[in-house]
Structure 1
Amino acid sequence: MKRKWTPYADLVITNAKIYTVDLTIPEIQNGNYDFTIIQNGFVAVKDGKIIGVGEGLDKSFIGEETIVNDVKGKTVIPGLMDSHMHAMFAAMDLANVPLKDCTSLDQMVSLLKERASSVASDKWIKGTAFNELQFTDGKKPTKEILDSISTTNPIFVKRTCCHVIVANSKALELAGVTKNSPNPDGGIIGHDANGELDGWLYENSAMDLIEKVFPPLSEDELVSSIEQIGKYMNSVGLTSVIDCNMTWDCMRSYLEALKQNKLTYRDNMMFYLDKAVGDIPYHLNRIYEMACVTGFGNDMLKMNGIKVTLDGIPATGTAYMRKNYMHMPETRGYTTITPEEMTQVCEYAAKYNWQVGVHTIGDACMDVCLEAFEKGGLVKDNLKNRNYLIHAVFPHEDMLPKFKKMNVPVTLQPTIMGTMGEESLLDEVNKELNQPAGWYFKNGIICGGSTDFPVVDCNPFVGMSKAVTRLHLDGKVHGAEHRISAKQALIMWTMNSAYFSNDEEKLGSIEVGKLADLVVIDQPILEIDGEKIADTKVLETYLSGKKVYEKK
């Protein structure tokens, strides 16, 4: 039996310090970060939306059935939003061997051996998130190292960046990869000094040679994984994400999770222009044929745009830079598709009303993408389509005219400064410039907060802390002039991130009329030392006024 409608709130949160983030996007671009802070206030929620917010307590919102939650002076913030991640990938990785905490090759091998000893001799073994840059022994995995674990189990491990995998002989055999196999378009098959396979496969088209023969999860398994990863993301305050590199199976599984009421975060799906699946003419035809374009869906699940991976990462020399690398002086990286192809994608996106988000780590790659945005006809429609750069970690002053002309936003991942260890591979200029949130704020460019999860942990408070302190993995502060305030950091994961999913009128702040995505945290993050922001604990998370997480 349905509950009778009443004029009272369903939920009232009281006795709260409230960081409203009640700013507009133009205000933020013009340098106004002074949102309203309510020292002792309330938030009233009805039918999933905020119907009241203010100082003290307005008892007129409270009826017999209203849930009243006294948070006893704790801080309430808007539901947090990650503007670039791979939630589905993280969900799928739950069944794999976690390697992110390994500090040596031996430790990594030990974990893989442990898994091999517990499964059948022909079962696939996948490890995730290794990072040889944090190995204290200076070693890195190879085909031979993985062969020493098993020659009958196909084994492969994915680097933390998700741009490289290393496979053993059995996995390479099943994938049909030999030392004479040609490099796939946009990727590289690694070889040692003698021309033999070393097991390393760079970028998606090469990695997919292995991953396409890896046994896929069933739809039921994917739905279960979505439910599990949602519980974790809610526990760190996330209520909305932009989820990249979606396959058809992933999209269908998300729809099924929504039908089964197992989706506890708003998922904005990015259709992936994957070179492993087809060439650019093939993808242009897909863009033309797809009816579910940007904005199709509802507040819980919708199509957000097209994701393009235009270059790689600095650690492997695949990010496309203006200058050659110090650790790989023979190269400055490359783009996975040509500038002309990138322009074609932008032309089709503009014609058929798609938003485009492009992975651009190298500064030369940023040049290519900004040029493609301009040539591809995205200038006049950019305020609507909001085409943006993902990562964009090495901007230069000569790029500003294009950023300004086209109103191009960027989504950064400050957590990476404290986990990847790439500063040792960068020249002094780029070492100081890396992940410059302050540069973007100073120049009025919308800068979203994100993590690239599972590349690094999706906890937004760690990212906020790194953006405020710029403390890197080497224990040093690089680029102190690009620090931002705690207010700006909170804006990155709220209003600014809402902009990337065209949701700033619905989400990103605590204001009447907006969806009631709310997070109760244990400390006032605007009033504490920047490093301590990372220690923030979420006490409760609400999605449309419904509690989806409570700390036990």
Structure 2
Amino acid sequence: MITSISKGRRTTLLTLAAAVASMLAAMAAGCGGGGSNSAGLATAAAPPGAVTADAVYTNAKVLTVDASDTVAEAFAVKDGRFLAVGSQSELNSYIGANTAVVDLGKRTVVPGLGDGHLHDVGGGPGIDVSQVRSIAQMLATISMAVAKAQPGELLISNPDWYHGQLDERRMPTRAELDSVAPNNPLVLLRGGLTAVLNSAALSKFNITESTVSPQGGIIEKDVNGHLTGVLINAARSLMTLPPDPPFDSTRMQAFQQKLNALGVTSVRIPGAFTGTKVPAAYKLIRQLQNEGKLTLRFDMLLDSRVGTAQDVQQISDAADMPPGSGDDWARVWGAKTYVDGGFEGGFMTEAFEEPYGQHGTYFGLPLFTADQHEAVVSAWAQRKYRVAVHVVGDAALDQVLTSWEKLDKASPGIVKGWVIEHALVARSDQIPRIKALGVQLSLQPHLYYAAPILAGLWGRARADVVVRTKEFSDAGFEVAGGSDSPLVLNPFLTMYHFVVRDTVNDGIYGASERISRPAALRMFTSNFAKLNNEQDIKGSIEKGKLADFAVLTSDYLTIPDAQIKTLTPVATYVGGREVYRNNAVTFGQHLGRQ
């Protein structure tokens, strides 16, 4: 007898195998579009002494991402873990009467991908300008939203856009926003650190030309001293926006499905998460786990955008999430801290380019002093939490390294395994200092969508070495990859950027920082696992590890470079359970040996 998975059907191979076994005598034909007929079912037992698998996957190109980058033909899964990996003939001994044997049709298989720095998957409430490619398209999209709104109604965009995607490579002006929304307060959220307001919104929030920029923030003005409408970093606190819709079970399942469809099986949440506080999200994750609806694994960091040890105590006490607690589905990683802001606020040792550099006087925007950062990370260390820190500029990195070196001198090894997030502008002389501390690096593809803007802010020379992926790797770092989503969600697009150093609309930047395809894949598999101290249970297709894997549309190692950025899975599995399937794809499948 032969069975196959029908289009769109999501079920576990274990459940399928059990169901088929119980109906062997009654059923005479398979269902759906599988690759075999029912005539040749053999139910012979496995050889004496062999362990019988729940499922064996054959006829594949398996990129195991083990220490030797072994490429295998087949693998077996039992009880949610990889049982064996090797050639098809070697895997035959694991096929028993009730083993589901799946023919993957020579497709490429990779370990389940891990996003090391993810906040959201994009979309959601608000005006969606993520796909516009010019100021005119943006204004047209806003006009449609205004036409549907009540007079005076506050309009807000969702944050998954960046002005580097626009042909004009600039923010919309206050006057342009006023032209399409003269009577409605309009706030364009851009990522997590910047907003653009029209005149009605500035008036609504009582922001005038005499309003003083708060510490760690900028109320941007033009050369004549007039408000541009741009609020940067802490200046966003001058707005009081309505809360995001509750992040409930329905939204969480949609969140999981979107990532599973990209081959992502694990994520690391660095503090900010879909507008929801991490403790509340953690409870929701546990709820879904208890209901059997969890299809994604989580490492969670408490948000510590604070400046005193007392703040740390309040966050820790309120969260009641001990460091390292959890299981294979959700674990408390540590705490996320900050020292500088986004692109416009990255703290540099050299002034920004003109005119943003204000005649060589603007070096960025540190959010906290060195003393404040040291107090915060010391307080987390006393509570045994690992620390990750948001770093954009090289001056911010100097500040972090000096503080961490001081801590390490007082308590050797205390910062080992801590993480520097982003490290957009790092100097070569800083790399040995990072290495000596034993800390890790979590890198993202900001250059891909922001290259021309970064070149304008920092100069082309600095932009060319934004994220020194090759130099870090050559220095021995096993760098982890991530999206800092929602802007670049597909991990294969990030791999493409790190392999080619291409950008969304400005060509190649810093070709000397290119890395190989296997190295880029490691950023989202084995290196991601090491970032989370989970290398013994995930990150590669090896015996004993969690059976998280993705079956791809094409061969990642051999397709033309340009095709990497659109590569996607046809199926994704978590713990051996199928959690995503392209409706147009079926695999040949039968039960037992033939």
Q: Normalised by the size of structure 2, how large is the TM-score?
A: 0.82
The count of residues paired between Structure 1 and Structure 2 equals 523
Aligned amino acid, residue 81 of structure 1: G
153 and 251 in structure 1: CA distance in 2 versus 1, 3 angstrom threshold: farther
The answer to whether the 8 A contact 2:407-2:414 is kept is no
Pair 1:136-2:170 in alignment = no
Q: 2:94 is matched with which residue?
A: 61
546 and 417 in structure 1: CA distance in 2 versus 1, 3 angstrom threshold: same
Please point out which of 58, 71, 76 is paired with 1:44: 76
Please point out which of 98, 111, 116 is paired with 1:83: 116
After superposition, where does 1:101-500 map in structure 2 within 5 Å? Answer: 101-121=131-151, 123-127=153-157, 128-137=159-168, 140-150=171-181, 153-159=184-190, 161-193=191-223, 195-203=225-233, 205-210=234-239, 212-220=240-248, 223-246=249-272, 247=277, 248-275=279-306, 279-286=307-314, 289=317, 290-314=319-343, 316=344, 318-327=345-354, 328-330=356-358, 331-377=362-408, 379-383=412-416, 386-414=417-445, 416-418=447-449, 420-425=451-456, 426-454=458-486, 456-500=487-531
Question: How far has the Cα of 1:266 moved from its partner?
Answer: 1.2
The answer to whether the 8 A contact 1:321-1:332 is kept is yes
Question: How far has the Cα of 1:123 moved from its partner?
Answer: 4.3
Aligned amino acid, residue 401 of structure 2: L
Question: How far has the Cα of 1:521 moved from its partner?
Answer: 0.7
Question: How far has the Cα of 1:433 moved from its partner?
Answer: 1.4
Point out where structure 1 has 5 or more consecutive residues left out of the alignment: 24-33
219 and 242 in structure 1: CA distance in 2 versus 1, 3 angstrom threshold: closer
Question: How far has the Cα of 1:75 moved from its partner?
Answer: 0.8
The answer to whether the 8 A contact 1:124-1:214 is kept is no
Please point out which of 100, 107, 115 is paired with 1:74: 107
Question: How far has the Cα of 1:452 moved from its partner?
Answer: 0.7
The Cα offsets for residues 280-333 of structure 1, whole Å up to 9 and x where unpaired, read as: 34422235535413322222222222112321233x2x1111101113222110
152 and 66 in structure 1: CA distance in 2 versus 1, 3 angstrom threshold: farther
Question: How far has the Cα of 1:119 moved from its partner?
Answer: 3.8
Q: 1:29 is matched with which residue?
A: none
Q: 1:99 is matched with which residue?
A: 129
Distance 2:327 2:184 in 1: 43
Question: How far has the Cα of 1:18 moved from its partner?
Answer: 0.8
Aligned amino acid, residue 37 of structure 1: V
- Give RMSD over aligned pairs: 2.6
Question: How far has the Cα of 1:229 moved from its partner?
Answer: 2.3
Pair 1:35-2:90 in alignment = no
509 and 415 in structure 1: CA distance in 2 versus 1, 3 angstrom threshold: farther
Question: How far has the Cα of 1:131 moved from its partner?
Answer: 2.8
The Cα offsets for residues 39-92 of structure 1, whole Å up to 9 and x where unpaired, read as: xx22211221111111114233233433322101111110001111213xx35x
Distance 1:334 1:368 in 2: 13
Q: What is the DSSP-based 3-state SS (H/G/I as helix, E as strand, rest coil) of the residue aligned with 2:327?
A: coil
The answer to whether the 8 A contact 2:451-2:506 is kept is no
Distance 1:150 1:473 in 2: 29
Deviates more, 1:468-477 or 1:232-241: 468-477
Distance 2:428 2:269 in 1: 30
415 and 189 in structure 1: CA distance in 2 versus 1, 3 angstrom threshold: closer
142 and 476 in structure 1: CA distance in 2 versus 1, 3 angstrom threshold: closer
Distance 1:536 1:74 in 2: 13
Distance 2:451 2:160 in 1: 11
Aligned amino acid, residue 495 of structure 2: M
Aligned amino acid, residue 310 of structure 1: V
470 and 137 in structure 1: CA distance in 2 versus 1, 3 angstrom threshold: closer
Point out where structure 2 has 5 or more consecutive residues left out of the alignment: 1-14, 22-44, 46-50, 584-594
What percent identity do the matched residue pairs reach?
A: 28
The Cα offsets for residues 467-510 of structure 1, whole Å up to 9 and x where unpaired, read as: 11112345433322221111111111111111222211111000
The answer to whether the 8 A contact 2:134-2:167 is kept is yes
The Cα offsets for residues 393-441 of structure 1, whole Å up to 9 and x where unpaired, read as: 2222321332221112111113632555335323343133122211011
Aligned amino acid, residue 529 of structure 1: P
Deviates more, 1:287-296 or 1:7-16: 287-296
The answer to whether the 8 A contact 2:445-2:488 is kept is no
Distance 1:218 1:451 in 2: 24
144 and 250 in structure 1: CA distance in 2 versus 1, 3 angstrom threshold: farther
Q: 2:61 is matched with which residue?
A: 17
Aligned amino acid, residue 442 of structure 2: T
The Cα offsets for residues 231-263 of structure 1, whole Å up to 9 and x where unpaired, read as: 121111111111123324444444444444443
The answer to whether the 8 A contact 2:309-2:379 is kept is no
The answer to whether the 8 A contact 1:175-1:213 is kept is no
The answer to whether the 8 A contact 2:378-2:407 is kept is yes
118 and 15 in structure 1: CA distance in 2 versus 1, 3 angstrom threshold: same
Distance 1:284 1:541 in 2: 38
Q: Normalised by the size of structure 1, how large is the TM-score?
A: 0.87
The Cα offsets for residues 313-366 of structure 1, whole Å up to 9 and x where unpaired, read as: 33x2x1111101113222110210001111112211221111111111111111
Please point out which of 565, 568, 571 is paired with 1:534: 565
189 and 427 in structure 1: CA distance in 2 versus 1, 3 angstrom threshold: closer
The answer to whether the 8 A contact 1:486-1:530 is kept is no
